[in-house]
Amino acid sequence: MTQPVVQERPAAEPGASRRRGVGSPWLTLVAVALGVIMVTLDSTVVAIANPAISKDLGASLSDLQWVTNGYLLALAVSLITAGKLGDRIGHKPVFLIGVVGFALTSAGIGLSKDIGLLIALRVLQGVFGAMLQPTALGLLRAAFPAERLNMAIGIWGACIAASTASGPIIGGLLVQHVNWQSVFFINVPVGIVALVVGGLFLLNARGEPGASSFDVLGILLLSGMLFSLVWAVIKAPSYGWADVKTLAFFGAAIVLLALFVLREMNTRQPLLPLGLFRSVPLSVGVVLMVLMAFGLFGGMFFLTFYLQSVHGLTPVATGVRLLPMMLAMMVASPIAGGVISKAGPRVPLVVGMALAGVAFLGLSRLGTDASFTGMAPWFAMLGIGLSPVMVAATDIIVGNAPVALAGVAGGLQQVAMQVGGALGTSVLGAVMTAKVAGVLPGHMKDAGLPVPTGAQVDLMKGAISQGVPPVPRNAPPQVVQLITKVSNLSFIDGMHLAFMASAGIAFAAALLSLLVRAGRQVEAAAVHA
């Protein structure tokens, strides 16, 4: 019969208790929020800067894809390893190294005159970003008592929502009135403040002072698995989901995962102790985080095209239209943290995913002429619904892991979010493209235009799925108008189906949430050895 191993609070750095404010929960929250805000801002402004980068540096579409994908791959591959490093040597130094590295690479990107150097710096920036996110959760886990951790994660989530909401607006204003470089330079002052606050007030808690070596083989296997998985998901829309290259990467991911599990079962100091997954709430939390990110990032992907391409809004105006969702998340996240502390995570998770499902159904009925007042209630409901899911799923992943493994648990949470987001954009993109291909000939016929052949549909469906009408050169204005109308109608049909699929995922997640144990956390989570 296995016995629970109760984990003590991590040891503090020598002399920390003699300095006023060191280890303060709220100052810890300020420091980690600043670090994570850098990462969130960066992820939301790069898409807005891409057209200007392309024009200034002569970047191709493939280059711009690598600006995003190189960062995402490096981030996803490095998260759990960075969290383990924090558990081993202390979350504070890893976090501060991440802050410095992220700020310096941001400055380097802004100074880049060559697209190859910019992409290389983006990859390096992803590695430093991976140091920030899991260690931030590890620092919160160590600084806050169990009964207040939910509230801290709620405020942390509100900071993420605030930076997500302001990112497109700030990025649009900077690109429009300054230059694209300024969207990266903005990370430098934020990083300086985070470095000063973190250096002065973070407590260097670490959970594994007695460990003598790293699981290097485990790191290589896990990194290879995550790279293969994320690469397959990213490239599937262009390769084709049934293409041999896509299947080869998915197959490699499965093989490497099996080898990683065998390694972790037979090593004395595993990178990711598999005993963590014996906790049903933690395992369910990982799945819920994937599903939450699937709906959130997949939905955001289409909403951006809908507002900019179909409605013709500028990036700044698009950001303003999305404010109801982000403001709702800013307000609801701390409230959700308080509710979860008192009532447990089960009910907020079920209600939150159900609300998100209803919101997705509402968004599936938006037309080409939807007004701001017609969109705003569904955007707000989506923000209110997803807030308790983000807070509770994060809390039951990090909170149900021992303090000694808080960094690994934080990395696991972030990997789940990154994989879920990549799956959301790719899978829902495939759903939308298939729907566009199915309805386009009928819409063309109804508009009195020549019905396209299968080959022509294949050429047009990609552009239409991004809300861009495939208008031939020198087409008469009347034809341009008809093709635009047909394109918009086909896009709307595809978006409706994608949102209905998101609603189905949300309702399934609501049922899955019933498996989460009700009740409050304990101070020292148990791991069964």
Q: How many CB atoms are closer than 10 A to CB 166?
A: 18
Q: How far apart are CA 118 and CA 26, in angstroms?
A: 36
Regarding pTM above 0.85, the answer is: no
Measured CA distances, 92 to 176, 190, 447 (Å): 37, 17, 62
In angstroms, the CA 11 to CA 90 distance is 10
pLDDT band at residue 100 using 50, 70 and 90 as cut-offs = very high
Q: What values do phi and psi take at 180, rounded to 5?
A: -70, -30
* The predicted structure's pLDDT at residue 213: 60
Structure tokens at 123: 């990859």
The per-residue pLDDT of the chain, averaged, comes to 81
pLDDT in tens, 282-300: 888 888 888 888 887 777 7
CA distance 106 to 232: 27
List, for residues 382-396, the tens digit of each pLDDT value.
989 988 888 888 778
pLDDT confidence of 329, banded at 50, 70, 90?
confident
Q: What's the CA gap between 10 and 482, in Å, rounded?
A: 66
Task: Determine the Cα–Cα distance for residues 96 and 31; give it in Å rounded to an integer.
Answer: 10
Q: What is the dihedral of CA 147, 153, 131, 279, to 10 degrees?
A: 60
Q: Which of 390, 375, 269 is nearest to 324 (CA)?
A: 375
| Alpha carbons 350 and 507: distance in angstroms, whole number | 9
Q: How far apart are CA 86 and CA 205, in angstroms?
A: 9
Q: Which two tokens stand for residue 132?
A: 């920030």
pLDDT for 154-178, tens place per residue? 787 788 777 776 777 787 788 878 8
CA–CA dist 67, 11 (Å, integer)? 40
pLDDT at residue 5, as a whole number: 36
Q: Is the pLDDT of residue 7 over 50?
A: no
H or E stretch covering 510: helix 477-512
CA distances from 422 to 233, 350, 417, 418 (A): 6, 24, 9, 6
pLDDT at 62: 66
What does the pLDDT read at residue 507?
93
Q: Model confidence at 251, in pLDDT bands (50, 70, 90)?
A: very high
Residue 365 has pLDDT above 50, yes or no: yes
pLDDT of residue 9: 45
Could you tell me which residues come within 8 angstroms of residue 493 by beta carbon, excluding any fewer than 6 positions away?
435, 436, 439
Which pLDDT belongs to residue 247? 93
Q: Is the pLDDT of residue 524 over 50?
A: no
Select the more confidently predicted residue: 301 or 182.
Answer: 182
What pLDDT does residue 96 have? 93
